[in-house]
Structure 1
């Protein structure tokens, strides 16, 4: 049976549409980043990198920062932002599908190295640098100056009315049996350093009937609207101030530090160790208020991670305007 012209052309047309819309995740859109101050520390002309990320706003901003930074030094870069969760993105690095992404010290410490020791972040990063390179061929660069740790939030007016200021207050409220659901994301509900450990640390049991598992992006608005009394979120998310949410103090210090660090496959780094000079100034400039502001431009204002990343880099003079 002879295929119709439409049937013959359809796969090609679909492929063109996917490429144009960026749905493949393999290529960025728009002009390459021009040279700025980052290019003074490295020349990556003729080099190629594949940059990945996890699937939430902050990670996609960091991914786009990496892409623009590498481009500004002359590299050719493939965009693999928005791969998926932590495990999928880590595996993409280990398998060689990507060259680099930004990982969090707390995630690697608890989930990849299966560590339960409570160490300060300097010691955690030092051990990660030694052990992850030796065991997995992963190189950790300088960490950014923000902590995207887990946090619990409450609507600001509700927190004042119920006198909720700490996670101990949240635990006491749950133990009292008063109404109100706790909303968590899937990953936090299943992680070793997540909900199960929190209940042990704060001596409370959360009934299944009072737990809602939602996408983290939904938790912010659901908490502001009262669907969730308590919501588990990331500390650097820009929707916290935008929605008037109050962060409960982790008064027993349960959540470990989650500093963001560019990680590279060792073979990639050893080939071009000058990339450390590119990412060092970026990490030093990304403090808590800055990251929360950048996140807010995406999550609260609807800007694209690519535009936000490049505008910030250009404002700092890191790349050409």
Structure 2
């Protein structure tokens, strides 16, 4: 972090520290994949350092977590703008990143949920190939992939069940680019297995997300979404309005953390867990210590 930003961060923390009560209680949620587990642990440790009493409930399914927040069982968690836009609010309109954020902020406010400042991490969907195979076939983009498949190359895709069926997933992506893998050439599996299956040569293409730490570790090529099909999945803290009414200082505190996250940072943290086999708690703590937040 640049020295000037460090000074601003320190000043903000000093000011906010005066408003946090030691007996404040918060429930922090998280989904059931590496990035979300890291964020839940990071946020819990960070808020405990502010003096809150925190209960962490991570490892939850997406829809279960959202319902838990709407019902008041979860005070806050990190969500993706594209998930709220499409999965929770059913918006099919194509929007740019700022429009996406503004729309979900408005729609979720009607449900008592507040979107705080988005980070620069955009964990959108992506397709990846082994670098050597992509070079051999001349594939750098999804349009290239479509052309190769339409020319008769029977490439096999690894996809999780969610990407296979969702409205911003496989079927509409194929329609946008004018090709089809074919049912026989799509292998459905847990999301954590798609890139290992690609690396081991069991498939030719794998769905993934942009901040997956295994991408650089496995020398994979992410194909350019040259027709801009995938929506923006900016990562941001979402808090119940009732919670913010009780703890208004929480918004500024979480915005500090949000301002430190981007694609490269999240990919590095994810890799420390998924590739280097460090624990989620240790990775989260080390990041906070490096940023002088613990």
Corresponding position of 1:206: 181
Decide whether the 8 Å contact of 2:156 with 2:181 is kept in 1: no
Aligned counterpart for 1:227 among listed residues 191, 197, 202: 202
User: TM-score normalized by structure 1?
Assistant: 0.85
Select the structure of larger CA radius of gyration.
1
Q: CA deviation at 1:39?
A: 6.2
**Correspondence 1:237 to 2:212:** yes
Matched residue pairs, number? 283
Corresponding position of 2:146: 171
Q: For the structure 1 residues 48 and 37, does the alpha-carbon distance in structure 2 shift closer, same or farther, using more than 3 Å as the test?
A: same
Corresponding position of 1:119: 95
Corresponding position of 1:277: 252
Q: CA deviation at 1:309?
A: 0.8
Q: CA deviation at 1:133?
A: 1.1
Name whichever of 177-186 and 141-150 sits farther off. 177-186
Decide whether the 8 Å contact of 1:156 with 1:246 is kept in 2: yes
Decide whether the 8 Å contact of 1:153 with 1:245 is kept in 2: yes
Corresponding position of 2:4: none
Q: Give the SS at the match of 2:259.
A: helix
Decide whether the 8 Å contact of 2:155 with 2:181 is kept in 1: no
2-structure distance, mates of 1:108, 1:199: 23
Aligned counterpart for 2:229 among listed residues 244, 254, 260: 254
**Correspondence 1:195 to 2:160:** no
Aligned counterpart for 1:47 among listed residues 1, 5, 24: 24
Gaps of 5+ in 1: 1-34
Aligned counterpart for 2:118 among listed residues 143, 148, 162: 143
Decide whether the 8 Å contact of 2:154 with 2:181 is kept in 1: no
2-structure distance, mates of 1:242, 1:38: 35
**Correspondence 1:57 to 2:34:** yes
Once the two structures are superposed, what CA deviation does each residue of 1:128-185 show, in whole Å capped at 9, x if it has no partner? Answer: 2222111x11111111111101010000111111111101122222223323211111
Q: CA deviation at 1:40?
A: 4.4
Corresponding position of 1:15: none
Residue correspondence of structure 1 range 95-110 to structure 2 within 5 A: 95-110=71-86
**Correspondence 1:180 to 2:158:** no
Indicate the RMSD between aligned Cα atoms, in angstroms: 1.6
2-structure distance, mates of 1:262, 1:283: 7
Corresponding position of 1:129: 105
User: TM-score normalized by structure 2?
Assistant: 0.92
Q: CA deviation at 1:127?
A: 2.1
2-structure distance, mates of 1:306, 1:122: 32
Runs of 4+ in 1 over 3 A off after TM superposition: 35-40
Once the two structures are superposed, what CA deviation does each residue of 1:230-288 show, in whole Å capped at 9, x if it has no partner? Answer: 10001101100000100000010000110111111111111111111111121111111
Q: Give the SS at the match of 2:158.
A: strand
Decide whether the 8 Å contact of 2:214 with 2:274 is kept in 1: yes
Gaps of 5+ in 2: 1-9
Decide whether the 8 Å contact of 1:184 with 1:211 is kept in 2: yes
Decide whether the 8 Å contact of 2:26 with 2:53 is kept in 1: yes
